[in-house]
Structure 1
Amino acid sequence: MRLVNIERVKPGDELAQSILGADGAILLREGVILTDTYIKRLKSIGVEFLYIKDAHLDDLKGQDAEFLQLKSQAVKSVSTVFSKLQYNNVNEVRNTMDTILNIVEYLLENKDINSTYLMELKTFDNYTFIHSLNTCVLALFFGVNLNYTRNMLLDLGMGALLHDIGKTKIQTEILNKKGKLTEEEFEIMKKHTIYGYDIVKNIRYINERGRLVVLEHHERFDGSGYPNKLKGENISMFARIGCISDVYDAIISDRVYRKGFLANEAYEFILGGSGTFFDVELVKIFKNNFSIYPLGVCVRLSNGIEGFVVGHNKGLPDKPVVRIIYDEKGNSIQPIEIDLSKQTNITIVDVIV
């Protein structure tokens, strides 16, 4: 499979990974042959990247059916729970806990899974729910690498999944404003953390450490965040994890007011925020365990050759394994794989999207 920009997709290409809608239903399933109509529809709902089949990369596999089903259930659950909690109906939270627990079990059974494999692609209409899911899964990825217990992972996952629940109390015109928020509008937006905590604080299914993710995920390690300008270890550990997970997924996402960063740019942003925005020790875990480059993405090397990422090296996220399938002139060649962790003079200089 190969990750490509929607603008490069042609009728006849075969979809290599299913695409989820806002309600968790599958919009297009893996294996569908893309037509001009499908491509136009995907563009209209904001799909910018997707995976297509490629004979040169047919050993790369998308998300397995089990994980896709788990994520589909999670999106449906978060969509429903956001709607219900807006009116203080907490009955759906129990079902959401079951969904998170299933994801926890999957991650515990697949500890060597690549972080980019966990991320779900977004469209315009599913941003809120997919962002909530991605933040949850990334937070759980942190928790697994910290050897958290199942109960701790469940609390962390619930808090991360519902971190933005307070936005249901913010006016839509502010949430979806294309331009920069005014100072007054930003002050209103900042209240979503308090609104969210008020929603979850009396839900018995959610532990206080999970609730604090909702309240504190915009606090910053240097005390520059909100709502309470907490600093360092005064911010709960779960919220510090939620902060990095939230920011990472948010900045790689297209928003109504800006284009998303590439994953490698987001990675550098997180590293650059160590000790200011983010907990130093958590950034170290992020650096050693998260992957920058999705499998199947095309990259340009410092020697001028382009290739596709086909493997990762733990602890060396900027040095994946790259498969070269074309020469400098674009002619097909016998595939060559270069493990950048073993090369001192070749680096990735660009991502080709």
Structure 2
Amino acid sequence: MRQLSINRIQEGDLLGKTIYAHDGRVLLGRGIPLSSAYIERLKKLGISIIYIDDEETKDINIEDVVSEENRREAMISLQHSGEAVRIGKDFDGFQVKKAVDNIIEDILFQKEIFVSLTDMRSYDNQVFAHSVSVCVLATIIGKALGLDRDNLEALAVGALLHDIGTVKLPKELLAKREEFTTKEIELYKSHTAHGFEILRVKRDINLLSAHIAFQHHEWMNGSGYPRNLSGDKINSLAQIVGLADFYDNLVNDGPGHKRTLPHEACEIVMGCADKLFPLNLVVLFLKHIAAYPTGCTVKLNTGEVGIVVDQNKSLPMRPVVRVLMAGDDPNQDKAKEYNLVEDRTTFIESILE
């Protein structure tokens, strides 16, 4: 399996991972040949990354740290919660906690965790998929920090619901991918206060989770919002969610912005250490993130083009790359692989979209 930009998909390519709608419905199932009509429909849905299966990469297994079923259940619980809030009703906090507990169990079960999966997101599920991914990333950090179960659950619930306040915002604003105007920025910032007000009255949800929704955009240097808090005045769990949210927003399209490539996002996050987020948190986070996700297509300094087929967890910037073609000659040996930890003069120049 490998990932490709939707613009590089060809008619007849086999879909490598099932694509879901925001309510858990299957839009396209794994193994379906992609027709030109399907490809055009996926483009209109706003999906930019697709996983495909082909002969050259059929042995590449791209595993998620959380099961597909548990991700989908979390998205459904989030969708139900948001819809309830939108029409002025209460939502089932126990359903949210059940979905979160499944994610926690998946993460606690694994000994070593390394995130190497890119979401296939459409316009309609972007907010939900983002929140689930932030929940997963934050829980991974929480586990690495050794949080007890109560704090881990409060962290994960707060992460899943960190953007619940966006249900109070216009849908057109959330669907926008161009830069926000100054007025739109101020409107978008209000989602943190909305989220706090929604969650703080929920007796079945830890008040810490409400503070996560309120403070996840506060930054160490005091330049965040809504209260310009700085340093240790920011709740420590909110800092974790803030970092997970910041990274996931970088690597995926979202309201008011386009995505950044994962290796560039890792560099940006490192540059934010001791400015936006504590250095120790940034270092710990990046130890669990693949700068070059398994299945992505890369160009090497040798001129060769290949697929990332495995990771070196001790050196995330130096994965294992299988060459698909060398230079402009497609007849060169396709089985050649570079372990960039061992081949020290070979390095990745760029990810090919």
1:350 aligns with 2:340: no
Number of the residue aligned with 1:146: 145
TM-score by length of 2: 0.93
* Equivalent position amino acid for 1:141 in 2: I
1:252 aligns with 2:248: no
**Preserved contact between residue 26 and residue 72 of structure 1 (Cα < 8 Å):** no
- Identity over aligned pairs, percent: 34
Counterparts of 1:76 and 1:63, CA distance in 2: 21
Number of the residue aligned with 2:188: 189
Number of the residue aligned with 2:97: 97
Unaligned stretches of 5+ in structure 2? Answer: none
> Aligned with 1:286: secondary structure?
helix
Number of the residue aligned with 2:158: 159
Q: Deviations over 1:268-289 (max 9, x none)?
A: 1111111111121110102222
Q: Displacement of 1:108 after TM fit?
A: 1.1
> Aligned with 2:92: secondary structure?
helix
User: Structure 1's 43 and 315: CA in aligned 2 closer, same or farther, altered over 3 A?
Assistant: same
Number of the residue aligned with 1:216: 215
**Preserved contact between residue 219 and residue 228 of structure 2 (Cα < 8 Å):** yes
> Aligned with 2:226: secondary structure?
coil
Number of the residue aligned with 1:340: 340
State the Cα RMSD in Å: 2.0
* Equivalent position amino acid for 1:103 in 2: I
User: Structure 1's 48 and 171: CA in aligned 2 closer, same or farther, altered over 3 A?
Assistant: closer
Counterparts of 2:303 and 2:93, CA distance in 1: 52
Counterparts of 1:178 and 1:334, CA distance in 2: 38
**Preserved contact between residue 80 and residue 91 of structure 2 (Cα < 8 Å):** no
1:295 aligns with 2:294: yes
Unaligned stretches of 5+ in structure 1? Answer: none
Q: Deviations over 1:273-323 (max 9, x none)?
A: 111111211101022221112211111112222111111112321111111
**Preserved contact between residue 301 and residue 348 of structure 2 (Cα < 8 Å):** yes
TM-score by length of 1: 0.93
Counterparts of 1:253 and 1:66, CA distance in 2: 18
User: Structure 1's 218 and 124: CA in aligned 2 closer, same or farther, altered over 3 A?
Assistant: same
Counterparts of 2:58 and 2:95, CA distance in 1: 37
**Preserved contact between residue 11 and residue 34 of structure 1 (Cα < 8 Å):** yes
Q: State how 1:48-87 maps to structure 2 within 5 Å.
A: 48-63=48-63, 67-87=67-87
User: Structure 1's 221 and 236: CA in aligned 2 closer, same or farther, altered over 3 A?
Assistant: same
Counterparts of 1:169 and 1:64, CA distance in 2: 31
> Aligned with 2:287: secondary structure?
helix
| Corresponding residue pairs, total | 352
